[in-house]
Amino acid sequence: MPEKKSESNRRDFLTGRVIKQAAEQAGENLADYLSDATEEITVPSGGSTIRLSTRAMATEFAVVMNPGRSQQVIQASDALDMLHELEQLMTVYRSNSEMSRVNAEAAAGPVSIDSRLFEVLDQSRQICLDTEGGFDPSSGPLIALWQDRRRLGRIPTQTEIDSCLAHTGIDQFEFDHSNQTIQYRFPENELNLGGIGKGYALDVAGQFLKEQKLENWLFYGGFSSILARGSHNQLQGWPVGIKNPLFTSQRLGTILLKNYAMSTSGSSVQHFRHEGKRYGHILDPRTGWPVSELLSVTVIAPSAALADALSTAFYVIGIEKALEYCENHGEVGTILIPAPTQGRKLSPVIRGIPNEFLFLDRDQLLS
């Protein structure tokens, strides 16, 4: 359906007759990530929808809804508007953001911060501890180092990596829960919510929709972070496609997502080559080097922030540790896809996702 560029006119145009047209145009093609009706009869398929979108955090966010009352469009529009305020809170790419202020001031002493920012930073801290550093919000300097050296046409030296590692690690940040303050150990310390911020924004906006009694919707950010509530097309949830990480134009399967979040991480698209060797964009915060054991990781979890952070963490810590985490956290499920040992067929490792909600294309799997 056509995009509406202006934030101010979104309510005006997506009402009445235009809502009906938007639903008809959506048809069975919900989006690239949603299933369509051309698959086998046993695979859940999508139906007509209404979709509103905005651009925030350098990506597209959208709410997908079943056709219905016009009031839901206004509520979805209000939820999308919240994303811009949250971006101003969390981004490190604006010097006047709350996160940038904390990074600039917290080495000099404890800094009081917005309660929402403290909440997501503290959640990041806990996930870092629970995954033994597989996800680490302090690894921004390492990411910046690799990006800079890539622009120079080389990879970082071990000395450069070690210099960054000396100022990363969640133990270098002191969280005071009673006063909601944070203090950094060194001026070089930095916190960056790039691996969890989109998910947190979905959670906050999604909570608003729940408070407005909007029961059936799918909210996504950047096609890798998804939060779903209720159901669609008389299904047990919303049909969300899982791409084949070797051939990203192919759908490996479909998962029915209801009252849960989903996130996928991988380096099949974002990578580069140097002197004949392939380097992915996901770094191990503990070593400072890219990881490559898995092709992709999909995580389902109760919140989008948790799903976002864990999909990165599982990619870093590998299959054994990821499965161990799921064993200890029964509310989390995962699909781990290692590189095939031979041929092009895949052997996913699945944990915590019931069969009745997961539909994989057996022709693409190693039997």
Strand partners, 54: 61
Q: Residue 305: CB partners within 8 Å, gap ≥ 6?
A: 120, 123, 196, 199, 200, 202, 203
Q: What angle do CA 216, 220, 225 make, to 5 degrees?
A: 125
Separation CA 209–CA 217 (nearest Å): 9
Q: Is the pLDDT of residue 269 over 80?
A: no
For residue range 68-89, what is the model confidence (pLDDT) as tens digits? Answer: 888 999 999 999 999 999 999 9
**If you classify domain 50-90+98-364 with CATH, what class do you get?**
alpha beta
For residue range 126-163, what is the model confidence (pLDDT) as tens digits? Answer: 999 999 999 999 999 999 999 898 889 899 999 999 99
Q: Is the pLDDT of residue 211 over 50?
A: yes
How does residue 275 score in pLDDT terms, banded at 50, 70 and 90? low
Instruction: Please provide the average confidence, as pLDDT, over all residues in the chain.
Output: 87
Q: Residue 84: CB partners within 8 Å, gap ≥ 6?
A: 7, 54, 56
Q: Which residue has the higher pLDDT, 34 or 106?
A: 106
How does residue 342 score in pLDDT terms, banded at 50, 70 and 90? confident
Q: Is the pLDDT of residue 20 over 80?
A: no
Strand order in the sheet with 238-243: 238-243, 251-257, 358-360
What DSSP letter does each residue of 112-126 carry, written as one string? E--HHHHHHHHHHHH
Instruction: Give yes or no for a contact between 280 and 291, defined as CB atoms under 8 angstroms apart.
Output: yes
Q: Which residue has the higher pLDDT, 32 or 97?
A: 97
Instruction: Give yes or no for a contact between 75 and 209, defined as CB atoms under 8 angstroms apart.
Output: yes
For residue range 47-71, what is the model confidence (pLDDT) as tens digits? Answer: 899 999 999 999 999 999 999 888 9
Q: Is the backbone of residue 16 left (phi > 0), alpha (psi -120 to 50) or beta?
A: left
Percent of the chain scoring above 90 in pLDDT: 75
pLDDT (mean) for 190-202 = 97
Q: Is the pLDDT of residue 14 over 70?
A: no
Q: Is the pLDDT of residue 298 over 90?
A: yes
Token pair 């580069």 is found at: 272
pLDDT (mean) for 244-259 = 93
Q: Using CB atoms within 10 Å of the CB of residue 9, give its burial: 0 to 12 exposed, 13 to 18 middle, 19+ buried.
A: exposed
Res 126: pLDDT: 98
